[in-house]
């Protein structure tokens, strides 16, 4: 009898133990966890899962980078601390964040040195502007952008090479352009896609590669003209600078190639000069 009485008076365990813990403790612990660790924490016990069911509801901004330490979601009103996540889980977060308003993708450590740069990739951090489907297809997956209540989507891809000998093939990137023209033009939010290739050294042998790039850009502009997009083509032959901009609906897409030059890469009001602009609103022959 005494042993039974002693056993029944011991501290509660299992679910009873969790029920006696302050609910605020779960919130406090969870606030220091990444998205992935938070999911693991919630899966530890049903009561934790219930308590933290809405732990992502206040996050309204998602920031993706090829630097895993720079991938986070945040509450722009500052009520909650930012929460990190793994880049490949961005599509899951886009689904999970009920109040998501802004997505920013910044890629800076991008290699286009070999044939692998043109092939399919599993991880978004290994993508290039030439990866089939592009960054945007990887980001959204099977999510329809039309279903999202975003205000803005921004994609910035900056590629830096020493010389064109380090580039497998200097082509006009079109994967994200195709996606944006097909999927984002009629979306409720604004989309800004900026892709640039900066080359540190210039060589006389660069001309064939640059001409190939120019033909690719002209072809892309022609195709976009044919579907009613507004286009601009900027060329500075002396600087080796070319830039195209395409606008349609709520999408603005731009691609630029240039050699490193402080007046271009780090312009000041005194140094910056307005380049010649060729309006390509009329379809090319």
Domain extent listing, the chain: 101-279
Q: What is the per-residue pLDDT for 120? A: 80
Would you give the distance in Å from CA 53 to the centre of its chain?
26
CA 243-249-252 angle, to 5 degrees, is 25
CB atoms within 10 A of CB 151: 14
Q: What is the per-residue pLDDT for 9? A: 43
Give the pLDDT of the chain (285 residues) as one tens digit per residue.
444 444 444 444 455 555 567 778 888 898 899 999 999 998 888 888 888 888 999 999 999 999 999 999 999 998 899 999 999 999 999 999 999 999 999 999 898 887 676 778 888 998 999 999 999 999 998 899 988 999 999 999 999 988 888 787 888 999 999 999 999 999 999 999 999 999 999 888 898 888 899 999 999 999 999 999 999 999 987 778 999 999 999 999 999 999 987 765 555 554 445 444 344 444 443
Q: What is the per-residue pLDDT for 102? A: 98
Beta strand 102-107 with 61-65 is parallel
CA pair distance 25, 206, nearest whole angstrom: 62
Residue whose structure tokens are 């994200």: 176
Q: What is the per-residue pLDDT for 276? A: 41
Q: What is the per-residue pLDDT for 100? A: 97
Q: What is the per-residue pLDDT for 281? A: 45
Q: What is the per-residue pLDDT for 167? A: 82
Q: What is the per-residue pLDDT for 279? A: 43
CA pair distance 140, 175, nearest whole angstrom: 14
Q: What is the per-residue pLDDT for 269? A: 52
Q: What is the per-residue pLDDT for 261? A: 78
Long-range contacts of 243-250 (CB under 8 A, 24+ apart): 243/275, 244/172, 244/217, 244/220, 246/177, 246/181, 246/220, 246/221, 248/181, 248/185, 248/224, 249/184, 249/185, 249/186, 249/187, 250/184, 250/185, 250/186, 250/187, 250/188, 250/189, 250/190, 250/191
CA pair distance 206, 257, nearest whole angstrom: 12
Q: What is the per-residue pLDDT for 17? A: 54
73: left (phi over 0), alpha (psi -120 to 50) or beta: beta
CA pair distance 186, 184, nearest whole angstrom: 6
CA pair distance 145, 143, nearest whole angstrom: 6
């Amino acid at each position: 009898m005494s042993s039974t009485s002693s056993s029944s008076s011991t501290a509660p365990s299992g679910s009873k133990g969790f029920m006696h813990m302050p609910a605020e403790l779960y919130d406090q612990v969870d606030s220091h966890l990444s998205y992935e660790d938070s999911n693991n924490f919630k899966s530890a016990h049903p009561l934790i899962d219930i308590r933290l069911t809405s732990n992502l509801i206040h996050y309204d901004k998602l920031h993706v980078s090829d630097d895993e330490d720079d991938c986070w979601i945040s509450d722009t009103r500052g009520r909650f601390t930012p929460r990190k996540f793994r880049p490949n889980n961005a599509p899951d977060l886009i689904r999970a964040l009920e109040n998501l308003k802004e997505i920013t993708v910044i890629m800076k450590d991008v290699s286009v040195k070999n044939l692998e740069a043109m092939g399919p990739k599993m991880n978004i951090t290994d993508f290039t502007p030439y990866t089939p489907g592009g960054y945007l297809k990887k980001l959204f997956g099977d999510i329809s952008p039309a279903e999202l209540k975003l205000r803005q989507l921004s994609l910035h891809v900056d590629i830096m090479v020493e010389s064109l000998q380090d580039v497998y093939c200097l082509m006009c990137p079109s994967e994200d352009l195709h996606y944006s023209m097909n999927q984002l033009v009629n979306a409720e939010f604004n989309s800004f896609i900026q892709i640039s290739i900066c080359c540190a050294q210039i060589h006389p042998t660069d001309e064939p590669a640059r001409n190939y790039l120019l033909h690719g850009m002209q072809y892309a502009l022609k195709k976009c003209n044919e579907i009613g997009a507004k286009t601009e083509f900027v060329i500075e032959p002396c600087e080796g600078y070319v830039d195209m901009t395409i606008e349609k609906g709520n999408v603005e897409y731009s691609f630029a190639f240039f050699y490193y030059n402080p007046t271009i890469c780090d312009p000041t009001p005194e140094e910056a000069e307005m380049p010649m602009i060729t309006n390509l609103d009329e379809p090319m022959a």
